[in-house]
Amino acid sequence: MARERVIREPKAIPAVLDPAEGTKKASAAKPARLPVTEGVDSVLVRPPLREDDDSVIKDLRPKRFAEYIGQSTVVDPLGIAVRAAKKRGEPLDHVLFHGPPGLGKTTLAHIIAREMEAHVTHTSGPALERPADVVGLLSNLKKGDVLFIDEIHRLSHAVEEYLYSAMEDFRVDFMTGSGAFAKTISLPLEKFTLVGSTTRAGMLTAPLRERFGLTYHLEFYTDDELTLVVKRSAGILGVKVEAEAAAEIARRSRGTPRIANRLLRRVRDYAEVGGDASGIGIEPDAAVNKDMAAEALRLEGVDELGLDRLDRTYLQTLAVNYQGGPAGVEALAASLNEEQQTLVDVVEPFLLKIGFIVRTPAGRRCTPPGMQHAGEVTHGKSAKGTQQARLV
C-alpha cells in the first residue's frame, strides 16, 4: 500500500497527462475549462464577441485594427504579421507589449484574438502562483488560441520556467513522484500565441523576453490623437461634444486614452445634471461646449495641463518647502504622507514627461517651468503661461 501512495499522481496535475486517456476525457468534458487548481479560478475564458452584442456597443475599446486610433508604429507592423499568419493558417508569433499603463496593451491583445478568429484567455502574472496553475491553463488551450498575461513581469520564477518550453517547443515537462519513483512526463501542447503585457520591461528576464517574436513599445498619445479618441468614445456613449470641448478633454488627459475616457465620463455626468443637484442638465440635442468641459474638469481637480491635486501638491512641496530641491523621494513621501512607490510610479512620470521635475543623483529638482507653475498654482493664477512646457 505504501508503494501505491508514492507513485500516485499528485492531485494538482491535470487529467490530460496521459495523452490517450486525456483526449478521451477532454472530449467528454464541458468546453469551458478543465478542473485544474484553485489558482486558475481567476482566469477568464472569453469567446470571440459578436459585433451585435450589447456589451460591445457600450465598450469603448476598439474591436479591430481599423478602429484603433494612434500607435501606428505598433498597429501597422502588427497588422501585417496577423494577416500573414492567418494566410498561412498558423498561430501568430508570441507578442510582448510594454509601456506606461492606459495606452491600449490589453485592447491590442483582444484585437489580435478577434482578428485571428481565436479564443482569448485573460489572466495576470500574480494570479499564476504555482506551476500547476500555468500547466492547467496551457493544457486547456486549443490550436491558435491566444493566452494574454497582464503584468507578466510579476510571474514567479518557477512559473516562468514552465513557459520557456511551452513558448518554444509547445510542450511542458514536469516531475512526478519522488526518489526512486520520480519520472519526467512531457505534456504536448497545441500551438498557441502568448501575448504578454508589462509596464516594466526591464524586470523581465532575458530568457523570457527573447522568446517573444514580436516586441512593441507603446508611446504616449498626442493631443490630436486623443481628440479623435474622445470623439469616438463620445459617439459610443451617446454624448454630443463640440470639437473644442473634445480638444479640451484631450489636452488634459496626460497623453493616455484611459484617462481621456474617464474624463469624458465625468464631463458627461456634469452636462447631464448641469453641475448641481437640481438634475437640470443640457438639452438632449445640445452639445457639450468647451466652457462646460473646462468647468467639469476643474471640479474634478484637473488643471489645464492635466495635473491633479496630488501632482500639484507634490510640485508645490518640492518648489516651496524644499526651494526647488534637490530632495529625496523618501523626504517628499514623508512630507506628503504618501507611499514612496505611489510618487515614483504615479506622480513623477508625467511631471518628468512635461519637464517640470528632473531626477538627479542628489534627488528630485524642480525645473524653472515647474517652479513657475507651482508659483501660479500657489497664487491661484492660470497656468496658460506654462503651455510651452508641454510635450505635444
Annotation says 30 is catalytic: no
Pairing of strands 146-150, 193-198: parallel
The catalytically annotated residue of 121, 198, 199, 227 is 199
Pairing of strands 146-150, 120-124: parallel
Nearest-10 crossing angle of helices 309-316, 368-378: 110
Is residue 316 a contact partner of residue 374, using CB atoms and an 8 Å limit?
Answer: yes
Q: Note every long-range contact of 345-353, with CB atoms under 8 Å and residues 24 or more positions apart, other chains counting.
A: 346/310, 347/310, 347/311, 347/314, 348/314, 349/100, 350/254, 350/306, 350/307, 350/311, 351/307, 351/311, 351/314, 351/315, 353/220, 353/255, 353/391
Annotation says 191 is catalytic: no
Annotation says 46 is catalytic: no
Measured CA to CA, the distance from residue 316 to residue 267 in angstroms comes to 27
The catalytically annotated residue of 37, 106, 193, 198 is 106
The catalytically annotated residue of 37, 105, 227, 312 is 105
Is residue 174 a contact partner of residue 185, using CB atoms and an 8 Å limit?
Answer: yes
Pairing of strands 171-176, 214-217: unpaired
The catalytically annotated residue of 133, 145, 150, 311 is 150
Which letter does DSSP use for residue 221 in this model?
P
Q: Which three cell numbers stand for residue 240?
A: 454630443
Annotation says 227 is catalytic: no
Omega prior to 326 cis, within 30 of 0: yes
Annotation says 105 is catalytic: yes
**Residue that is written with C-alpha cell 512641496 in the block:** 317
Is residue 351 a contact partner of residue 314, using CB atoms and an 8 Å limit?
Answer: yes
The catalytically annotated residue of 209, 252, 258, 364 is 258
In 3D, which of 307, 310, 306, 275 has the Cα closest to residue 289? 275
Q: Which three cell numbers stand for residue 306?
A: 492635466
What is the signed CA dihedral for 337, 342, 343, 345, rounded to 10 degrees? Answer: 180
Q: Report, as residue numbers or ranges, the catalytic residues.
A: 105-106, 150, 199, 258
